[in-house]
């Protein structure tokens, strides 16, 4: 399998450190708002990449963090008049709701920065001892000029960086590119004890510490959006390699940006389209299909019109699948040469720098094949195509996945059971309990409505 490694700038054969096991870290969201389609892209891309590694027989240990302390979170908390932890807890819960609806499987570990402050302090102390960090009155900084390989990942020279980059202004720093490891707390901000001052960790050090603590000093893949290459990933790498003297992540994978209304989709520019709205209007398969139709390294244009077109294509697929399901045919096809040929094509596409557009096109070719086979009364062919779509490739891409659908059916059944129980309680005039059921369901976005036909529900 070949992947493009940002570190070397080349497409390289992927060989994990430990045979059969892949250790992988993906930078997760800063939790102060709902996620948007720009955030959905790395989530879907690396979810499918992980599924594919598993399909190829690897055991994957995946970590995705939550940045749960940050200026943005503190600002939001001040705006709302609540504490930052409430903001973080709220948007972690909202993240799960969207991630689940988008069919993103949870990683093996989802560490939160605030759970790692003790480890972060210890590692900053070691960096200070080794001479890679220094203290000023505003906090502790990484001494960029002490780390020779600074700029290796982003392919930038220090001189050019000073000229072009947005750097933190702080007159106590020795050098403009030095970045904070520990920030002295301002009055009223959440803070933790440290040997320097009460304060909180900088953004870059948290990912270094959580990845090294969970995956080890060297691990296989570090992934994220290409806007993180500099300074975030460059700084993560500098800290880790200064600390251990070893290669930090061996392969770096970066996805391209999502463009919307002529600009990068981002919260800071305000041009966002939330995942929640996208899912509500167009559904999971449409959004995943749109994301996977683009090679992960290319920029991706987003518009509602485009997403609506993908959703129409998805509906046509469902019509073909339902038509087959209505025939009542169930079975497992033989792994004949046609089967093998499709599997080989699928693997060939994804082994080539994770070319999901080709993999998705194979899926759509199979849908055409299924439709044709049904027209021609070719039962064996139809079974083969159906099986490849829904049981072989669908679960890898998270598209038209039979397992996902089973979960939804089970959820519907559970809601119906609750509605029945509520009805029984009402007949016994136990209104406090029946109201409790209605309120609890409402909290998770399921609204009950009593009609003359009985109780109906809508999902937000």
Name the residues that contact Zn ion, by CB under 5 A. 27, 207
In whole angstroms, the minimum distance from the beta carbon of 203 to Zn ion comes to 7
Q: Which is closer to Zn ion, CB of 181 or CB of 359?
A: 181
Please answer whether residues 162 and 174 qualify as being in contact, where contact means their C-beta atoms are separated by less than 8 angstroms. no
| Of 27 and 45, CB closest to Zn ion | 27
Least spacing, CB of residue 63 vs Zn ion, in Å: 10
Instruction: Give min distance, CB of 127 to Zn ion, in A.
Output: 17
Q: Which is nearer to Zn ion, 27 or 362 (CB)?
A: 27
d(CA 209, CA 206): 5
- Return d(Cα 28, Cα 92) in angstroms, integer: 11
449: exposed, middle or buried (C-beta count within 10 Å: 0-12, 13-18, 19+)? exposed
Closer Cβ to Zn ion, 44 or 207, answer by number: 207
Nearer to Zn ion, 207 or 359 (CB): 207
Using only C-alpha atoms, what is the Rg of the chain?
A: 25
From the list 43, 209, 49, the residue with the least C-alpha distance to 121 is 209
Render the burial of 3-42: b for 16+ CB within 10 Å, e for the rest. bbbbbeeeebebebeeeeebbbbbbbbbbbbbbbbbbbbb
Q: How far is the CB of 435 from Zn ion (least distance, A)?
A: 44
Q: Is the dihedral of CA 119, 121, 123, 129 positive or negative?
A: negative
Q: How far is the CB of 42 from Zn ion (least distance, A)?
A: 11
- Determine if the peptide bond prior to 72 is cis (ω within 30°): no
Q: Which residue spans within 256-383 are E strands per DSSP?
A: 258-260, 263-264, 300-302
Shorter beta-carbon distance to Zn ion: residue 42 or 256: 42
Count Cβ neighbours within 10 Å for each residue of 56-86 and write b for 16 or more, e otherwise: eebebbbbbbbbbbbebbbebbeeeeeebee
Q: Among residues 152 and 351, whose Cβ is nearest to Zn ion?
A: 152
The CB-of-2 to Zn ion minimum distance in angstroms stands at 25
Which residue reads 């992927």 in tokens? Answer: 14
Q: Would you say 211 or 356 has its CB closer to Zn ion?
A: 211
Q: Are 2 and 12 in contact (CB under 8 A)?
A: yes
C-beta of 22: minimal distance to Zn ion in Å? 18
Q: At what angle do helices 356-375 and 284-292 cross, to 10 degrees?
A: 120
Q: Shortest distance, CB of residue 207 to Zn ion, whole angstroms?
A: 3
Residue with tokens 């969201």: 29
Residue 248 C-beta: closest distance to Zn ion, Å: 12
* Complex with Zn ion: residue 237 or 288, whichever CB lies closer: 237
E strand segments, 82-158: 133-136, 139-142
């Amino acid at each position: 399998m070949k992947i493009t490694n940002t570190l070397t700038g080349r497409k390289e054969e992927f060989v994990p450190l430990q045979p059969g096991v892949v250790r992988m870290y993906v930078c997760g969201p800063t939790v102060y708002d709902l996620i948007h389609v720009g955030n959905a892209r790395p989530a879907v891309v690396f979810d499918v990449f992980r599924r594919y590694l598993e399909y190829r027989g690897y055991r994957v240990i995946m970590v995705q963090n939550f940045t749960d302390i940050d200026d943005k979170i503190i600002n939001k908390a001040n705006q709302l008049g609540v504490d930052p932890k409430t903001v973080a807890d709220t948007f972690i819960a909202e993240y799960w709701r969207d991630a689940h609806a988008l069919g993103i499987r949870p990683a093996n570990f989802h560490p939160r920065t605030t759970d790692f402050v003790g480890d972060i302090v210890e590692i900053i102390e070691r960096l200070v001892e080794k001479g890679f960090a220094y203290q000023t009155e505003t906090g502790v900084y990484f001494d960029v000029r002490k780390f020779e390989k600074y700029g290796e990942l982003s392919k930038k020279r220090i001189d050019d960086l000073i000229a072009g980059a947005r750097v933190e202004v702080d007159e106590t720093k020795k050098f403009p590119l030095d970045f904070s490891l520990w920030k002295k707390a301002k009055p009223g901000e959440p803070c933790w004890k440290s040997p320097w001052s009460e304060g909180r960790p900088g953004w870059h050090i948290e990912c270094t510490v959580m990845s090294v603590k969970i995956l080890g000093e060297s691990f296989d893949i570090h992934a994220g959006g290409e806007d993180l290459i500099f300074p975030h990933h460059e700084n993560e790498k500098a800290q880790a390699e200064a600390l251990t003297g070893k290669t930090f992540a061996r392969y770096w994978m970066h996805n391209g940006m999502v463009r919307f209304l002529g600009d990068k989709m981002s919260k800071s520019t305000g041009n966002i389209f939330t995942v929640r709205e996208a899912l509500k209007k167009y559904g999971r398969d449409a959004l995943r299909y749109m994301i996977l139709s683009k090679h992960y390294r290319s920029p991706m244009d987003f518009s509602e019109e485009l997403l609506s077109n993908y959703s129409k294509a998805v509906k046509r697929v469902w019509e073909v699948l339902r038509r087959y399901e209505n025939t009542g045919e169930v079975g497992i096809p033989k792994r004949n040469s046609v089967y093998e040929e499709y599997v080989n094509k699928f693997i060939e596409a994804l082994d080539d720098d994770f070319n999901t557009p080709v993999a998705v096109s194979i899926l759509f070719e199979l849908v055409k094949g299924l439709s044709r086979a049904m027209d021609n009364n070719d039962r064996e062919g139809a079974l083969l195509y159906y099986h490849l779509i829904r049981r072989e490739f669908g679960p890898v891409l998270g598209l038209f996945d039979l397992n996902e659908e089973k979960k939804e059916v089970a959820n519907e059944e559970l809601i119906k059971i609750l509605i029945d129980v509520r009805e029984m309680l009402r007949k016994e005039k136990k209104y406090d309990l029946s109201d409790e059921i209605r309120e609890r369901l409402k909290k998770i976005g399921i609204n009950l409505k009593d009609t003359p036909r009985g109780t109906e529900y809508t999902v937000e």
